[in-house]
Structure 1
Amino acid sequence: MIDRAALEAKLAQLEIEHSDLDASILALQTQAHVDQIRVQRLKKRKLALKDQISKVRNELTPDIIA
């Protein structure tokens, strides 16, 4: 089993990267000449990070058998 502390550290790192991408996207969109291809790539990366964050959170949450 993967160490819980390692998963929590990975989750924190992914959340920071997700937040940084959000700020980068916002900054690009406020420029006069928006590079739409770059914005789309960043959004795609942000979505992939969101999926990874969900996966790690699911690993941290124990299965509850009802």
Structure 2
Amino acid sequence: MTDRYLAYLSREHARLDDEIRLESRRPRPDEVLIARLKKLKLALKDQMQTCVSNHARSDRLTA
């Protein structure tokens, strides 16, 4: 389950990165939208780091 969840988070992170890039290229980008997308992207990154950390911790406990 953890690997699939991590893959999902990674895909969402990449999708948000694409959205930020596309919005930034517009003639008049929506800066508020970009800021929201960046916050979501950062939250996903934090979740991915937590997921990896918890996975590594559980591996140490079962080894």
Same fold (TM over 0.5): yes
Structure 1: state its 5+ residue gaps: 1-5
Show structure 1 runs of 4+ deviating over 2 A: none
> So what's the TM-score if we normalise by structure 1?
0.84
SS in 1 for 2:27: coil
> So what's the TM-score if we normalise by structure 2?
0.88
| RMSD between aligned residues | 1.2
1:34-65 Cα shifts (integer Å, max 9, x gaps): 1000000000000000000001111111348x
Higher helix share: 2
Partners of 2:34 and 2:60 in 1: how far apart?
37
Aligned residues: 59
Aligned to 1:49: 44
Q: Does 1:18 align with 2:31?
A: no
Aligned to 1:28: 23
State which of 13, 32, 39 in structure 1 corresponds to 2:34.
39
